[in-house]
Amino acid sequence: MPTTEISKFLDKLIRPIFDKHARSIIIIDGVDLIQRLEAYTTNGYLKPKTSLCKYVDDFFFMPNDSLESIDQMLDDANNFHPNIKLVRQIGRSVPFRDVFLHNSNGALKTSVYHKEVAEPYVVPFESDHPDHVFRNTVDTAIMRAVRCSTTFSQFEDEIRPMKLMFLYNGYSPIHIDWRLTTLFSKHLQNNFILTMLNSSDEFGYLRHQLLTTSTNTEYDKATDN
């Protein structure tokens, strides 16, 4: 797009300031959230009774305090100013951004989150856009399904309605399967005989590869194609 180079230029100017003063407390996207929470879980900080808390779509935190103390803290925040009336959600399961998070007795489980009001629309395949736009649209949905799904079965549950959504918007089955095969071939060809997902081990390997790949790197490669 015409604004891509402008965005990259501004990013180079602003990124050092952002990294220095805000990066540690900002969740960039769903992948960043999963990476942080998995590190949090690996270090043993996620307890069976740890609550997942969010304020609308803006704030997310995981306290080990009692629900009463959490409610009191959030009440104090809401009472700070009459114009601050944020909706809270607290529990063992909570959606944040495009990720559904679940504390399963101290084990982190994640999947793709779809808002109830979300419509099954993406860039129509017959629209007047460059070819890379359609590739990126499908690739982004596939990578989100892989990154956000903790298990292979969750990925399969996500990929079926995803295919239906793209078919609804005019994408051919051949195009969808081509993008799936391209992704699997890129990350599995050197480690597995078949370049398709057939087991939980293969999915776990693919998910690890995509979670450790920078979102910015993937974006840069996509826009250069």
Give pLDDT < 50 ranges for the chain.
Answer: 193-194, 216-225
Q: What is the pTM of this model?
A: 0.77
Q: Give every strand in the sheet of 59-61, ordered side by side.
A: 59-61, 52-55, 88-91
CA–CA dist 141, 146 (Å, integer):
9
User: CB of 160 within 8 A of CB of 168?
Assistant: no
In 3D space, the residue among 158, 157, 121, 154 whose CA is nearest the CA of residue 142 turns out to be 158
**What is the rounded CA–CA span in Å between residue 11 and residue 129?**
25
Q: Which residues pair with 146 in a beta bridge?
A: none
DSSP secondary structure letters along 1-24 = -TTHHHHHHHHHHHHHHHHHHTGG
Q: Per residue in 184-218, pLDDT tens?
A: 888 876 655 445 677 788 888 889 888 887 554 44
